[in-house]
């Protein structure tokens, strides 16, 4: 696979472009890509990728029925928003939103400029091949800060249009939340009919805040998505602890690899990563997490649940790292795959790396087929095989869904999953 750079001015991004050329795409020889050979996957789906440069200036409208703030992007490009708070304030002390349109605006570019090193030490961000690629081609994204409680959820609508065949989208986003309690729903609405590859870099800074974040892939698409998420959870002043609950509902994409590096950098911080997905039709989804506990008294929970059928592949690589300072850590990790046919597979690689002695860490992973006796039991109560299977599938995912506190969001997710269960098996 080649990248067509004929329309790109490579001068400015030479350093990253060369580094990308040198390293190439990651393949299974790299431990982090062991289950997802991106080189092979992209080579067999694309001859040539062309970086997307067209920018959309038409406005899309928000459409969820309940009252919410919104931010709208098309193909990664910010096009519309409403962050005007109900109390009338829209000054820079409550919210702030800017557009990312070139490398200069990239969330970590200024830090990279200061260092010659391959590592951006202050951020613990390693500039690997995917980030080099992202930096070389990035031309779109959004950056927003919230300094005040939001009285309504903020919905980020990410629309993708139909004309993305063989395009490479490189976007970067910065989400920064301080001293606030917020609920964010990120909705991917993908109309693309053909293959494209999206390489996203996202950074979250959570300071003295409580954040509920829901990522929902709203419909089926042929998109190939890689997202690197750097999440820093901090509380420099209060020591009260910041809280992040992050839910991933990725069903529907042809290919996803969602990579999360979470840094629990403030004492008493809390992070939860929950995922529920129904994978089918040769879909390939990987969730990779690295939960770094660097301060004492932090808690982290991870629960990954996959239903797999029709030659699909689900992967969870989850690492918990507890530094020697992080005493009284409580970390929990569970991944489960429910495999509905012989062609599908679920692979997991849980890892614990612990340098402190007073910690509670556990991990578990299971995968198996649907319990035929359970199906029989439900059928003897008058349910058809399809209904019985649906009950069991929903029950399996309910473990994650029931943890959604907000009923509007829960309804949205239930509909999303229902849509994905429909017409199956």
Rounded to a whole number of angstroms, the minimum distance from the CB of residue 374 to other proteins is: 5
Residues at the site binding other proteins, with contacts judged by CB under 8 A: 371-374, 376-385, 387, 391-392, 394-399, 402
- The nearer residue to other proteins, 32 or 399, going by C-beta atoms, is 399
Cα separation, 172 vs 139, in Å, equals 8
- Output Rg (C-alpha) for the chain, integer angstroms: 21
Q: Round to whole Å and give the CA distance between 127 and 149.
A: 34
Q: How far is the CB of 396 from other proteins (least distance, A)?
A: 6
Query: Alpha-carbon distance 310 to 424, whole Å?
Result: 10
User: What length is written for the chain?
Assistant: 425
Separation of alpha carbons 106 and 230, rounded Å: 13
CB of 281 to other proteins, least distance (A): 24
Q: What is the DSSP letter of 140?
A: B
How far apart are the C-alpha atoms of 134 and 295, rounded to whole Å?
A: 31
Q: How far apart are CB 418 and other proteins at their closest, in Å?
A: 14
Nearest to other proteins of 20, 247 (CB atom):
247
The whole-angstrom separation of Cα 258 and Cα 195 is: 18
Q: Is 41 exposed, middle or buried (0-12, 13-18, 19+ CB in 10 A)?
A: buried
Question: Least Å distance between CB 383 and other proteins?
Answer: 6
* Residue number with CB closer to other proteins (284 or 336): 336
Find the shortest distance in angstroms from Cβ 304 to other proteins: 15
In the complex with other proteins, the residue whose CB is nearer, 210 or 387, is 387
Name the residue nearer to other proteins (CB basis): 197 or 396. Answer: 396
Nearest residue (CB) to other proteins, 221 versus 389: 389
Query: What interhelical angle do 407-421 and 385-401 show, nearest 10?
Result: 140
């Amino acid at each position: 696979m080649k990248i067509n750079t004929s329309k790109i001015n490579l001068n400015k991004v030479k350093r990253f472009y060369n580094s990308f050329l040198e390293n190439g795409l990651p393949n299974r020889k790299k431990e982090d890509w062991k289950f997802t050979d991106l080189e092979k996957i992209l080579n067999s789906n694309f001859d040539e990728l062309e970086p997307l440069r067209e920018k959309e200036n038409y406005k899309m409208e928000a459409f969820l029925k309940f009252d919410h703030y919104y931010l709208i992007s098309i193909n990664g490009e910010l096009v519309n928003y409403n962050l005007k708070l109900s109390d009338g304030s829209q000054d820079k002390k409550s919210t702030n939103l800017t557009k990312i349109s070139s490398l200069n605006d990239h969330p970590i570019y200024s830090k990279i400029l200061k260092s010659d090193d391959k590592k951006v030490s202050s951020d613990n961000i390693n500039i690997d091949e995917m980030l080099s690629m992202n930096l070389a081609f990035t031309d779109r994204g959004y950056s927003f800060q919230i300094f005040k409680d939001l009285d309504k959820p903020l919905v980020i609508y990410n629309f993708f249009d139909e004309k993305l065949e063989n395009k490479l989208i490189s976007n970067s986003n910065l989400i920064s939340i301080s001293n606030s309690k917020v609920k964010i729903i990120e909705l991917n609405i993908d109309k693309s009919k053909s293959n494209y590859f999206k390489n996203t870099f996202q950074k979250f800074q959570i300071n003295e805040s409580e954040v509920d974040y829901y990522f929902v892939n709203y419909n089926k698409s042929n998109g190939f998505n890689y997202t690197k998420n750097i999440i820093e959870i901090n509380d420099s002043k209060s020591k009260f602890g910041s809280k992040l609950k992050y839910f991933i509902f990725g069903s529907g994409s042809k290919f996803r690899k969602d990579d999360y590096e979470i840094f629990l950098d403030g004492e008493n911080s809390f992070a939860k990563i929950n995922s529920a997905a129904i994978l089918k039709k040769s879909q390939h989804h990987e969730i990779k997490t690295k939960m770094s506990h660097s301060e004492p008294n932090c808690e982290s929970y991870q629960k990954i649940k996959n239903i797999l059928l029709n030659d699909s592949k689900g992967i969870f690589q989850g690492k918990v790292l507890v530094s020697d300072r992080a005493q009284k850590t409580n970390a929990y990790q569970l991944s489960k795959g429910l495999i509905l046919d012989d062609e599908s597979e679920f692979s997991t690689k849980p890892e614990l790396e612990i340098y402190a002695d007073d910690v509670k860490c556990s991990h578990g992973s299971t995968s198996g087929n649907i319990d035929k006796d359970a199906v029989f039991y439900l059928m003897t109560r008058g349910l058809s095989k399809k209904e019985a299977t649906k009950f069991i599938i929903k029950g399996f995912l309910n473990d994650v869904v029931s943890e959604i506190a907000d009923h509007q969001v829960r309804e949205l997710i239930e509909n999303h999953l229902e849509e994905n269960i429909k017409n199956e098996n």
